[in-house]
């Protein structure tokens, strides 16, 4: 495994893409898996939402059930119901060999965490994934992670992700860089206490492992980090050395990046208080973390 810690806080990984994995072997191992995807969207971002939904339907999870719950901030000004009813039926028909169902879930409380909690409570699949509308999956994402979960006793699996820099939010955002910068693959419970190590769409969970866990409704930023921290205190996770998704994030130094920093700063105290409640201490930066990963060919 060739890992190169050279691009700021990101890790550039030389890992195989879809054409190097044994698809037939993985698909044989996933059995009769059913997967629920919670897709969080708001405002007028239909172009990005379309791409996110397509990336789910085009998964290499042949002959399996996929449930897509589109959780929407309800407003009179924006409601993608008509779009989803029309486009969802097109996607369902195009999903050859798969049973794909769409559920439209308007959420009057538009808080980011409430949208996710609504999805967790309604999801019915054996496995659950989360995909924000501005991110997307590569075709091998679900089959890779389900294959790992079916072959082990871990409660969640995650993979590496391409990081795509953009200068502004919304459908018109220009993608500036793709394919060379990747989110860190390695993690440990100690490391996760002071740094988020993977984006939200990278992870696939067993539905039974969630229990009473919820996303913290006091947070409108870093809510996924706190959720993974709580999850890791109860459950085991494993990393898979393969890039299977793309995560869009502000280009450092752009106006979009500056606004993201300010937005996170507004919730830092609440996050720190919630993290202290979980850990009972303030974690110190680590120089060395224990590494845990799933190696070899899948």
CATH of domain 23-279: 3.90.550.10
Residue 270 has pLDDT above 70, yes or no: yes
Q: Which two tokens stand for residue 149?
A: 């979960």
pLDDT of residue 19: 42
Rg of the Cα trace of the chain? 18
pLDDT bucket at 31, cuts 50 / 70 / 90: low
Neighbours of 258 (CB within 10 A): 12
User: How distant is the alpha carbon of residue 207 from its chain centre?
Assistant: 15
CA distances from 5 to 74, 186, 240, 248 (A): 42, 12, 18, 20
Give the start-to-end residue ranges of the domains of the chain.
23-279
pLDDT, one tens digit per residue, over 34-91 is 899 999 887 667 778 888 888 888 887 655 678 888 877 656 666 667 777 777 676 7
pLDDT band of residue 117 (cuts 50, 70, 90) is very high
66/24: higher pLDDT: 66
pLDDT of residue 15: 36
Residue 177 CB contacts under 8 Å (≥ 6 apart), including other chains: 163, 164, 165, 251
Residue 94 half-sphere exposure toward CB, CA atoms < 13 A = 13
Q: Which tens digits make up the pLDDT trace of 123-175? A: 999 999 999 988 999 888 888 898 888 878 889 988 888 888 877 666 555 55
pLDDT digits (tens, 9 = 90+) for 183-241: 655 667 777 888 788 889 999 999 999 999 999 999 988 999 999 999 988 888 888 87
Residue that has been written with the tokens 């539905």 in this structure = 207
Residue with the bigger pLDDT between 82 and 182: it is 82
What tokens does 136 get? 């997307």
User: What Cα–Cα distance (Å) separates residue 202 from each residue in 60, 92, 211, 222, 246?
Assistant: 16, 24, 20, 15, 9
Beta strands of 8-89 (E only): which ranges? 10-14, 34-41, 65-73
Beta partners for 204? 129, 157
- Which element (helix H / strand E) includes 247? strand 237-250
**Three-state DSSP class for 118?**
helix
* pLDDT score recorded for residue 130: 95
Please determine, for residue 4, whether its predicted confidence score (pLDDT) is greater than 50. Answer: no
pLDDT value of position 111: 78
- Separation between Cα atoms, residue 59 and residue 141, nearest integer Å: 7
> pLDDT value at position 121?
92
Give this prediction's pTM: 0.81
DSSP bridge partners of 130: 38
Quick one: which of 108, 109, 91 has its CA closest to 100? 91
What's the confidence (pLDDT) of residue 206?
95
Task: Please name which of 235, 202, 205, 236 lies closest in space to residue 127, comparing C-alpha atoms.
Answer: 205
CB-CB neighbours of 172 under 10 Å: 9
Residue 17 has pLDDT above 70, yes or no: no
């Amino acid at each position: 495994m060739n890992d190169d810690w050279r691009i700021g806080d990101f890790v550039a990984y030389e890992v195989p893409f879809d054409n190097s994995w044994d698809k037939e072997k993985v698909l044989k191992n996933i059995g009769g898996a059913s997967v629920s995807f919670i897709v969080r969207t708001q405002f007028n971002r239909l172009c990005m939402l379309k791409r996110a939904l397509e990336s789910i339907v085009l998964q290499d999870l042949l002959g399996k059930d996929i449930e897509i719950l589109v959780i929407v901030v309800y407003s009179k000004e924006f409601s993608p119901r008509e779009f989803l009813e029309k486009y969802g039926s097109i996607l369902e028909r195009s999903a050859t060999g798969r049973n794909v169902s769409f559920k439209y879930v308007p959420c009057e409380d538009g808080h980011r965490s409430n949208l996710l909690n609504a999805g967790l409570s309604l999801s019915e699949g054996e496995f659950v994934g989360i995909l924000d509308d501005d991110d997307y999956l590569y075709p091998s994402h679900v089959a890779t992670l389900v294959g790992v979960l079916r072959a082990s006793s871990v409660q969640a699996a995650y993979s590496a992700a391409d990081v795509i820099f953009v200068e502004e939010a919304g459908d018109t955002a220009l993608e500036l860089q793709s394919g060379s910068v990747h989110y860190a693959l390695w993690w440990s419970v100690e490391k996760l206490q002071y740094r988020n190590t993977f984006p939200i769409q990278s992870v696939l969970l067993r539905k039974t492992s969630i229990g009473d866990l919820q996303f913290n409704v006091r947070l409108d930023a870093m809510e996924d980090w706190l959720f993974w921290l709580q999850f890791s205190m109860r459950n085991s996770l494993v990393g898979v050395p393969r890039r299977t998704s793309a995560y869009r994030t502000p280009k450092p130094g752009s106006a979009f990046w500056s606004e993201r920093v300010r937005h996170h700063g507004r919730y830092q105290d609440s996050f720190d208080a919630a993290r202290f409640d979980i850990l009972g201490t303030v974690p110190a930066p680590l120089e060395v973390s224990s590494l845990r990963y799933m190696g070899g060919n899948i």
